[in-house]
Chains A and B, each alone.
Chain A
């Protein structure tokens, strides 16, 4: 038989448990990407060359090398320097760092769209750079870029199967193990595909809700 319902139902709970790891990696990775991306974007705006140039170089470097290599680098090469971390943590760090560079470009566009008058009014009111960013610039810069950030959330989610390369027990890795034990790949891989479809649709719906909320609160 091409599709075995009994087997599919049998492995469903195992895959559901693995999906928790996938979601964990996605959410933690994205939080890291969102925060680190903002830090990169702000540092790149610095007028001090010795701050902005190295950050720009790092962002370009990470963006132009494959995520898989970064995952391997963090998991296998960092221990050589005495930094040992678990596979899941390494995967989250790699995902977060990689997507931080994409997010930083999005933030940069958002920040550059703030009219100069907003910076000048902040300076004229004597606000510190910290308060200017926190209270004036960032609250105006974020709402227009929520859709773009949301796209990266979904993209990051869809790249979590790469973590199977360092044996993180997320969906893909679990499906591979199930397949190699039972010699049936159709059900595990199909179910994993379905999981991703469902979560992607849910994420897209959530992002649209957030967008709607933001455009409402802007008046």
Chain B
């Protein structure tokens, strides 16, 4: 077999290699392997405490890694190569890698003392070095895209949960990430506001080149939107596959139990 350099596109956008995460003696991720292709949309489902949030938080470097390596865009995330060896990444490497990733949180985490426009221009100005004009132009475009053209001057406290979450999505997109992480972004919303946020995510997936990972309990949305669904159980992927297959015809008993429990609840 001849060795040829893999073309850009065949390399996964995100790769977890035997990634382990512990809190004290509790093993939250147990040598997790997971590859996510460029522009792939992956839905993560699973029972509470199975490590879904942890996967996203590790990618965002909000948690430190206890074992294994995470690669993003072909480069190790929390490690870097030095003299052919993998060593712990320094701050400048971490910052460069973080720039490839954006995250939307369950509780929005908007900056309450800034308007929606202010929320969306802060990091582009401070981190990307855009001028206020450039940052505002980009922010306006994004806020318009998420349907908040008339809310640019509003503070978070003046908006509904659905509107706040859409600002949070625009804020993350303003940093031009390659990977977007969504952690149960509709769980804190009143039922009638869930649709407007999911619609924005749907459009994002259609119109932008983005790799998307989303933890969700919205099985209907996962089925229609995701390319692949991963079922997490006790820090491992117990089963994964195409949404129709995994959700309609699960092979594992645990998956079946989980899905019927979710179905019953909704």
* A contact set with B: CB distance below 8 Å: 115, 117-118, 120-121, 123-128, 131, 135-136, 139-140, 218-219
Contacts and interface: CB of A to CB of B under 8 A. Distances in A.
Nearest to B98: A126
10 contacts: A117-B105, A120-B60, A120-B62, A121-B109, A124-B60, A124-B62, A131-B127, A135-B126, A136-B111, A219-B155
A210 to B, nearest CB: 16
Nearest to A140: B113
A127 B111 contact: no
B127 A127 contact: yes
B122 A123 contact: no
Nearest to B102: A124
B127 A121 contact: no
Interface string B112-126: 110000000011001
A128 B61 contact: no
Q: Report, nearest first, the 10 A-B pairs whose CB atoms are least far apart.
A: A125-B123, A117-B109, A121-B109, A124-B103, A131-B126, A126-B127, A126-B98, A219-B155, A139-B113, A124-B60
Nearest to B95: A126
Contact of A121 (B95, B99, B105, B157): B105
Contacts of A135: 122, 126
A30 B101 CA distance: 43
Contacts of B61: 123
A120 B122 contact: no
Contact of B111 (A118, A126, A218): A118
B105 A126 contact: no
Nearest to A130: B126
Chain B interface residue bracket vs A: 20 to 34
A140 B112 contact: yes
Nearest to B128: A126
Interface in B172-217: 172, 175
Contacts of B158: 219
A124 B172 contact: yes
A117 B102 CA distance: 15
A136 B123 CA distance: 11
A218 B113 contact: yes
A127 B105 contact: no
A218 B102 CA distance: 28
Contact of B62 (A123, A127, A136, A219): A123
Interface string B78-110: 000000000000000001001101110101011
Contacts of A121: 105, 109-111
A124 B99 CA distance: 8
A126 B157 contact: no
A9 B117 CA distance: 60
A125 B105 CA distance: 12
A117 B112 CA distance: 11
B60 A123 contact: yes
A120 B104 CA distance: 11
Given A125-B122, A126-B175, 8 more contacts: A115-B109, A123-B60, A125-B171, A125-B172, A125-B175, A126-B95, A126-B127, A219-B157
B126 A127 contact: yes
A140 to B, nearest CB: 6
Nearest to B99: A126
A35 to B, nearest CB: 21
Contacts of A123: 60-62, 98
Nearest to A125: B123
A124 B98 contact: yes
A131 to B, nearest CB: 5
A34 B101 CA distance: 37
A188 B11 CA distance: 85
Contacts of A136: 111, 122
Contacts of B107: 117
Contacts of A125: 122-123, 127, 171-172, 175
Nearest to A217: B113
A218 B177 CA distance: 31
A102 B127 CA distance: 34
A120 B175 contact: no
A53 B62 CA distance: 25
Contacts of B62: 120, 123-124
Contacts of A126: 95, 98-99, 123, 127, 175
